């Protein structure tokens, strides 16, 4: 609930917005297949056609292990512990945008308007409604869309790194990868304008924070499962990643936060995961 108590003024963006790149349908040398339900999939990505020229790209994430948490930081990030992600999954290359939300939900709840800006002002309940529509439209044949777990999110954010950020420990470089308090001008920005991490994921350290499919427990790491840890019973829901209002220390890969399940904030959006 640290974000709830912050005081800030939100201005609606009215200026023309830069166009962020569309999802790449195929990369050179990779095999592409098109399923009957409209999903394009290949060894590196899955591309969903949401209609009206709006697409969503998800990156293939391979199984592996990593050190989750950070012993140098807050109590809820301790102890740093080894976690194994045992199953491959897909994760959105970008945060869900306003045009993607509009294409499925027929509305736009965001405070900062722009088709390529991340959707925000959405609660976990709202996000689950979006995911349900994705599953109705594209699910089946083994594909199951969801929000990422905290472990999936941090594994993907780190992209093989063990440092504070995906690019190292030097926070002076954060502006190359993230929109945060020092450079955002207190608003969101079109997705994909900053550098991606090593796995091709954009805006993991900033722009908007992202809801996860886990209930928050500050002591969970003390008894966390080694393989594929996921939600425990609780009230508050976890959110990860920095946002346009956060200082650099709150944009780290291991940083954890939480909010009430029904609340909507201009600081929080989400990205979609999909089990393979």
Domain-located, residue 17: no
For 210-267, how does the pLDDT look when each residue is reduced to its tens digit (9 = 90+)? 999 999 999 999 999 999 998 778 999 999 999 999 999 999 999 999 999 998 999 9
Domain-located, residue 14: no
Q: How many domains does the chain have?
A: 1
For 37-76, how does the pLDDT look when each residue is reduced to its tens digit (9 = 90+)? 454 444 589 999 999 999 999 999 999 999 999 999 989 9
Q: Are 46 and 23 in contact (CB under 8 A)?
A: no
Domain-located, residue 4: no
> What pLDDT does residue 230 have?
86
**Rounded-to-integer distance, Cα 208 and Cα 210, Å:** 6
Task: Name the residue range of residue 147's domain.
Answer: 32-275
What's the pTM?
Answer: 0.86
Domain-located, residue 128: yes
pLDDT at 5 over 80: no
Domain-located, residue 22: no
CATH number at residue 246: 3.90.1580.10
For 14-25, how does the pLDDT look when each residue is reduced to its tens digit (9 = 90+)? 222 222 223 223
For 93-103, how does the pLDDT look when each residue is reduced to its tens digit (9 = 90+)? 999 999 999 99
**Rounded-to-integer distance, Cα 254 and Cα 256, Å:** 6
Q: Are 206 and 250 in contact (CB under 8 A)?
A: no
Rounded to the nearest 5 percent, the helix, strand and coil shares of the chain are: 15, 25, 60
Domain-located, residue 169: yes
Domain-located, residue 61: yes
Domain-located, residue 3: no
Q: Which residue has the tokens 């904030």?
A: 265
Instruction: Give the dihedral sign, CA 27/157/95/234.
Output: positive
Express as a percent the part of the chain with pLDDT over 70: 84
């Amino acid at each position: 609930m640290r974000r709830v108590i912050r005081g800030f003024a939100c201005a609606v963006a009215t200026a023309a917005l830069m166009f962020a790149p569309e999802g790449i349908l195929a990369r050179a040398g990779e095999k592409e297949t098109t399923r009957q339900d409209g999903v394009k999939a290949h060894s590196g990505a899955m591309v969903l056609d949401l209609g009206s020229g709006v697409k969503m790209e998800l990156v293939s994430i391979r199984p592996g292990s990593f050190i989750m948490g950070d012993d140098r930081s807050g109590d809820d990030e301790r102890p740093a512990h080894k976690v194994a992600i045992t199953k491959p999954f897909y994760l959105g290359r970008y945060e869900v945008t306003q045009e993607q939300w509009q294409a499925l939900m027929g509305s736009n709840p965001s405070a900062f308007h722009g088709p390529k800006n991340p959707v925000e002002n959405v609660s976990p309940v709202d996000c689950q409604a979006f995911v349900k529509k994705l599953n109705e439209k594209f699910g089946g044949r083994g594909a199951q869309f969801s929000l990422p777990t905290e472990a999936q999110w941090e594994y993907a954010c780190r992209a093989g790194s063990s440092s504070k950020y995906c690019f190292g420990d030097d926070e002076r470089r954060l502006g190359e990868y993230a929109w945060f308090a020092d450079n955002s001008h207190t608003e969101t920005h079109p997705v994909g304008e900053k550098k991606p991490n090593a796995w091709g994921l954009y805006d993991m350290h900033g722009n908007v924070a992202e809801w996860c499919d886990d209930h928050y427990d500050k002591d969970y790491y003390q008894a966390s499962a080694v393989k594929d840890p996921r939600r425990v019973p609780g009230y508050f829901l976890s959110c990860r990643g920095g946002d346009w209002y956060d200082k650099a220390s709150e944009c780290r890969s291991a940083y954890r936060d939480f909010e009430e399940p029904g609340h909507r904030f201009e600081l929080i959006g989400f990205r979609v995961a999909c089990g393979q």
